[in-house]
Structure 1
Amino acid sequence: MSLEVTVTPHTRDENSTSAQLSLGKKSLTVETSASVPLDQSATPWLAPALLVAMRHDVSVTLPGSVDATALEGADQAQKVLNTWYPQRMRRVEVDATPAEPETAPDGRGVGCFFSGGVDSFYSTVKHLDEITHLIFIHGFDIALDNEDLAERSRRALREAARDLGRPLIEVRTNLRQVHARFGLDWEAHSHGSLLAHVSLLLAPHLRKVYLPSSFVAGELVPYATHPDLDPLWSSSRVDIVHDGLEAARAQKIAAFADNEAAMNNLRVCWYNKDNDYNCGRCEKCLRTMINIKIAGAAGKCRTLPAEVDLDLYDHTYMNSGGVESAKENLNVMKVMGYEDPELEAALRRAIDRPWLANELLHARKLASLAPEFVKFVWKQGRAQLGSGRG
């Protein structure tokens, strides 16, 4: 069995492209569009298609020709992914014709992915003299059907981009949903290939794209974006660069604490209760508020509360990421010479919290989400009945 990829160039709409990924009887279509014209070749589809093929241990066939540099890099990427996840990501054959190197158009710029988070603002401000474009993807961390939050985020990021003096390229894709239906884990396997896909689609405009790092050097783990993996998705026309390993999150905030575009538009929330831009109460918001406090920037961020409620932090469920962030904040307090005995004690309590106590907090959080889950199931059932599938 082979994963067959059919790319559909949009000759009448050069701002859109799509590909059908077919494996046996399952056939799903990925659609990606942007506010600028996109590369219509098969090359940008190599990384996302290869991930599906590796997950299902089948070869992959791509149409037409594919950039030779991208093919060579993808072979090395397979080695990395197979080493990290030997049971879930198998090395496979790629059936594609290497393309002759193309002459890239002159005057192309440098992009940086721009979600509005700590990592992306840090890389943007750090390389602002070099960066010519910022890139926002709807479908990456905001669900495609959540147009309300997406539009509010676009408005804020347009404002930030305008204040930074750089145009915002706006992208929309359903690749995350398609990858999920093929069984790919978003954090471990998938999201890096989505960023690579978008980077190569923007080849007509960009010669280099920065991928802001989620980790600091010395604390790297296998992850879908990683300094050992991201550059391997590059092509002869676009260099993909993993950036920001040198700084912890509090140090990153300290680097842009005086930048009004960043402090007026910072977006970090995963929970988004009531579709808030930042809820100010979830673990991700609280950890960022702690980052801001350690960075000496308390009260500067307009999108988060100025004060950290440590009692609320004590009663917030800590997943593995939350515990690691508490450890990072405890360490960076020493590195940056920030003294706050009350905050230090709260971070130690989060790290040392007994498993059962933490799981009880998790159960309480899930119970609070139950009404929303019931509503979701009801809506899905009604939709199926309405479409005649129920």
Structure 2
Amino acid sequence: MTTIDRLCLSFVAPDAATQASGGLAVRFRCGGYDRIVHFAAQGATLAANGDALLCLGLVPAMELGVDLYIEAEVDRELLDNTRDIQALLCEWYPGYRTVAVDTGPIIHRTYPEGRGTGLFFSGGVDSSYSLATERDRITSLVTLIGADVALTDAPRVARLEALAKDVAARFGVGYILVTTDIRSVSDRLIGWVEYHGAVLAAVRHMLAHAFENQLIASSGDDSAWTFRWGSHPALDHLWGTGGARIEHHGLEHRLAKVQRISREPALMDHLRVCNRRFEHCGTCRSCQFMLAALDLVDMRTGAPTYRHLASTSGPLQVTGPGTLSEMRYMRSVAAGGGHAAIAAAADRAIRRYHVKKFLTRIVPLDEIARRFKRFKRQRRFIRQVERPIR
């Protein structure tokens, strides 16, 4: 019988397909727990470095309550940043504690001159806005496949690849497609909301030889400072170093972002927002907001991916501080522009949110659910760790 020691991350020899695509294989190991995650790339070769491993391992280690060991060289600046990263995460998530981080040799990593600026690009409003506003300094788009689109969903994978290639060509920038099966392992260790920013940071370090700076598009306006999220203006830059910077970009109201990208046909042609399917369902929270936003900027006919939806078919929704700020801004624009129906729908959404918020102060169901999920993950992980290694 083994006991929980620490979560160890290392690079291992990739399978033939991953190796042929210039990819990497990462091993997550702790006692009897042993899993392999793959990263492959088109348009670049991924570099194995301990900085990427540290990004992949730190948040799961904190979620599971075990120390972390990185079997590779790690940049001193990034290692020093883990103190601030852990302090922030402990502040956000009750039950987290600071874990010990041990690594291979601690170094000052150097990079070649003349590297460019990358942008993580999904076709959504946020990354489209960052591309539209920062096009003069962006040299390449980086699209991660395996995050919100499963690798097994071949049609959606093909459409996401085509989207990224077409937008890159029309903007005259390069493109890199990174595929990974990380969620087949990570979803049993930690929620994607908490983890996705760290995964993006890991991919960023795998591409550090290509980019001096990497942009991660903000998913909120200035209110993003007030809520916990895996990609956050106070957090993202801490995953970077002086030679491999990460920039949280675009703290702007989403309606204002829609208005800006409405002037970019290449982005509107591929606009991708829906939480449920590639073709946009028209009924989820994201689709409802987008339909209202397109009506407010008079761009319903200019958004080909939404033309099949005749009208809004459900209520607007507020789910947290970020969407509350967005809804208030939408309500103000709608009221000032004579869109009474949208203003009224925004008012109803805001009222419902305040009622829910009041109730959660009495019974914090969301936090109870998060803690219960964490408890289940920890128990499942412990059972796997304590299995004898055969």
| TM-score, normalized by the shorter chain, greater than 0.5 | yes
Contact 2:318 2:327 in 1 (8 A): no
Match of 2:286 among 268, 274, 284: 284
Structure 1 moving runs of 4+ over 3 Å: 9-14, 323-327, 350-356
Match of 2:262 among 257, 271, 282: 257
2:61 corresponds to which residue? Answer: 53
Deviation of 1:31 after TM superposition, in Å, equals 0.9
Is the counterpart of residue 84 in structure 1 residue 84 in structure 2? no
1:65 corresponds to which residue? Answer: 73
Higher relative contact order (CA 8 A, sep 6+): 2
Deviation of 1:19 after TM superposition, in Å, equals 1.3
Deviation of 1:235 after TM superposition, in Å, equals 2.7
Contact 1:152 1:277 in 2 (8 A): no
1:313 corresponds to which residue? Answer: 314
Distance 1:98 1:77, change over 3 A: farther
Distance 1:326 1:78, change over 3 A: closer
SS at match of 1:195: helix
Query: Equivalents in 1 of 2:348, 2:301: separation in Å?
Result: 25
| 1:359-370 matches, cutoff 5 A | none
- Code of the residue aligned with 1:346 in structure 2: it is A
Query: Equivalents in 1 of 2:201, 2:310: separation in Å?
Result: 36
1:332 corresponds to which residue? Answer: 330
Distance 1:41 1:330, change over 3 A: closer
Match of 1:17 among 8, 20, 24: 24
Query: Equivalents in 1 of 2:292, 2:28: separation in Å?
Result: 43
Is the counterpart of residue 74 in structure 1 residue 78 in structure 2? no
Distance 1:91 1:301, change over 3 A: same
1:4 corresponds to which residue? Answer: 8
Deviation of 1:353 after TM superposition, in Å, equals 4.8
- State TM-score, norm by structure 1: 0.82
Distance 1:91 1:331, change over 3 A: same
SS at match of 2:35: strand
| 1:154-233 matches, cutoff 5 A | 154-182=161-189, 184-187=190-193, 189-219=194-224, 220-233=226-239
Query: Equivalents in 1 of 2:150, 2:164: separation in Å?
Result: 17
2:365 corresponds to which residue? Answer: none
Query: Equivalents in 1 of 2:340, 2:273: separation in Å?
Result: 26
Between stretches 208-217 and 143-152, larger displacement belongs to 143-152
Deviation of 1:9 after TM superposition, in Å, equals 5.7
- Code of the residue aligned with 2:81 in structure 1: it is G
Aligned length: 345
SS at match of 1:320: coil
Distance 1:291 1:325, change over 3 A: farther
Deviation of 1:117 after TM superposition, in Å, equals 0.2
Encode CA deviations 1:264-310: one digit per residue, 9 max, x unaligned: 110111111xxx43233332112112122223423211111387634
Contact 1:211 1:240 in 2 (8 A): yes
Encode CA deviations 1:351-383: one digit per residue, 9 max, x unaligned: 445989xxxxxxxxxxxxxxxxxxxxxxxxxxx
Deviation of 1:342 after TM superposition, in Å, equals 1.4
SS at match of 1:64: coil
- State TM-score, norm by structure 2: 0.82
Deviation of 1:4 after TM superposition, in Å, equals 1.6
Give identity over the alignment, percent: 29
Query: Equivalents in 2 of 1:21, 1:90: separation in Å?
Result: 20
